[in-house]
Amino acid sequence: MRPSSTAICWAGVFAVWIGCAEPRVAAADKPNLVIFYADDLGWGETGAYGNKDIPTPHIDSLAKNGVKFTQGYVAATYCSPSRAGLMTGRYPTRFGHEFNSVANQTGLHLKETTIADRLKTLGYATACVGKWHLGGGPEYRPTKRGFDEFFGTLNNTPFFHPTNFVDSRISNDVRKIDDDSFYTTDAYAERSVDWIEKNQSKPMFLYLPFNAQHAPLQAPQKYLDRFPKITDEKRKLFAAMMSAMDDAIGRVLAKVREIGQEENTLFFFIADNGGPTQSTTSANGGLRGFKMTTYEGGPRVPFVAQWKGKFPAGKTYESPVMNLDVLPTIVTAAGGKVDSAWKLDGVDLTPFVTGATKARPHETLYWRYGPQWAVRSGDMKLVVSRGGGDQPELYNLATDFAESKNLANVQSEKVKELQTLWDKWSAEQAEPSAPDAPGKAAKKAGNKKKKAAVK
């Protein structure tokens, strides 16, 4: 029997409905993506990495329920280049973003494609909440680089009365916040939670780069009151700031849990570089060096990922990884395909943390910061860094993570091998697009007289 015209009509409507509905179902199945990016946080300053004095229960929960990387690195040892690497999945030196001065003069190269750009094409709602530091001009700001919204500062700022502030919901104009009750860390948590609430019907990408723990050290009294036993004023401020950041992360985690998306969300917690030690008390857990050096204390950072049901819980991963890996990991998780034409330096970490692949994600890693540089191949690292001599030093990080025993004189062939690797890589990098100001940078890094503000 032939179907009636009414049946055919309803069948057509049903087919159209299925066809329209299918993309929405697929979109709902995409994981949400969250990156917490701490500023100037030392390798040893969270509970998950050994700190006993400053409770960080929410950060630690990410490690407990996910993967803690003991050898997590960033591709640059200070603020703006580190962010440039994270946003692009490429060594920032490849496109001339070697120094902070690039952000001060221009910004992230306009030919570079950001992680937000890539996720927008996959149907994601995107927001940047926090410290951008990838250019202040209108064409370099987050809302021109793939983000639907931006709420935060364009570069470094005080925590109270922040400057260079943009709230794209109101205006793209830059302003200063004069509200005495406004504290950046708390405000970033509040906006993030609000944005999640408003966008929960879509797959979401939230990039939350805190200005904590960067100087100036500032914290509300309610956080200072949590540390009555810390008598050093600077250290108490640092602890209070850490506690505020941990609370902010906890609020985001709670909101994701509240909307029933915890199992469907991939979180990363990473620091942008090592701690500057004396200027903020930020400690690097026994590593040599600090922010703006190429010893381990500069590029090795806290690095945690949680994706319940996909990544193993409570796993400690010992092989080296880098912040450049975040983009390909996230894009692949979102259902995208990494194209070789993108010329990424990062890799998808999923098969490595799940055990599907036994090899290391990277056999060789590189750094260049003006006259300072380093190359790590396997467990051997060749380095020239501030605080050392002019000649390259060689260390076996498997047995000497503190870089205390220079093996250059006894393993000259290994020195030559690693030098050749680094020379080849460095020749492939671009010239810095803006010169560094080493005197100014060193002064900032070593200034012990910054006033600690308390409100």
Model confidence pLDDT, tens digit, residues 113-165: 999 999 999 999 999 999 999 999 999 999 999 999 999 999 999 999 999 99
What is the mean predicted confidence (pLDDT) over 249-257?
98
Rounded to the nearest integer, the mean pLDDT of the chain is: 91
Q: Among 199, 207, 246, 200, which residue's Cα sits nearest to residue 223? A: 246
Q: Helix or strand or coil: residue 100?
A: coil
Q: What is the pLDDT of residue 28?
A: 56
Strands (E), 229-358: 265-271, 303-306, 315-317, 321-322
Residue 190: Cβ-neighbour burial (10 angstroms; 0-12, 13-18, 19+): middle
pLDDT of residue 26: 40
Percent of the chain predicted with pLDDT > 70: 90
Place of tokens 């193993």: 312
Give me the numbers of helices (H) and strands (E) for the chain, helices first please: 12, 18
* Residue 39: both structure tokens together: 């500023």
Active site residue 214: no
Find the DSSP H helices in 177-232.
Answer: 184-199, 221-224
> What's residue 277's pLDDT?
84
Q: Which amino acid is at 89?
A: G
pLDDT the model gives residue 3: 42
**pLDDT on residue 73:** 98
Dump pLDDT digits (tens) for 9-45: 333 333 333 333 333 334 458 999 999 999 999 999 9
> Annotated catalytic, 79?
yes
Q: Is the pLDDT of residue 278 over 90?
A: no
Among 58, 79, 214, 362, the active-site one is 79
Query: CA–CA separation, 188 vs 177, rounded Å?
Result: 13
**Amino acid (one-letter) located at 217:** L
Helix or strand holding residue 373 (H, E): strand 372-377
Q: Which residue has the tokens 């630690």?
A: 60
What is the token pair recorded at 330? 């996230």
Given a cut of 90, whether residue 306 has pLDDT beyond it is yes
pLDDT of residue 438: 56
Provide the pLDDT confidence category of residue 451 given band limits of 50, 70 and 90.
very low
The per-residue pLDDT for range 321-380, each reduced to its tens digit, is 999 999 999 999 999 999 999 999 999 999 999 999 999 999 999 999 999 999 999 999
| Domain at 30-362: CATH architecture | 3-Layer(aba) Sandwich (3.40)
Q: Report whether pLDDT(295) > 90.
A: yes
d(CA 411, CA 266): 42
pLDDT at 50 exceeding the cut of 90? yes
176 three-class SS: coil
- For 375, the token pair is 């190359």
Query: Dihedral through CA 14, CA 20, CA 24, CA 26, nearest 10?
Result: 80
Any idea which of 238-242, 243-247, 445-449 has the lowest mean pLDDT?
445-449
- Give me the mean pLDDT over the 40-60 stretch: 96
Cα diameter, the chain: 91
Q: What is the pLDDT of residue 29?
A: 81
pTM: 0.91
User: Amino acid identity, residue 337?
Assistant: K
Cα distance between residue 234 and residue 347, in whole Å:
39
The yes or no reply on domain 366-446 and CATH 1.20.1600.10 is: no
Among 97, 133, 214, 362, the one annotated catalytic = 133
Give me the residue spans of the domains in the chain: 30-362, 366-446
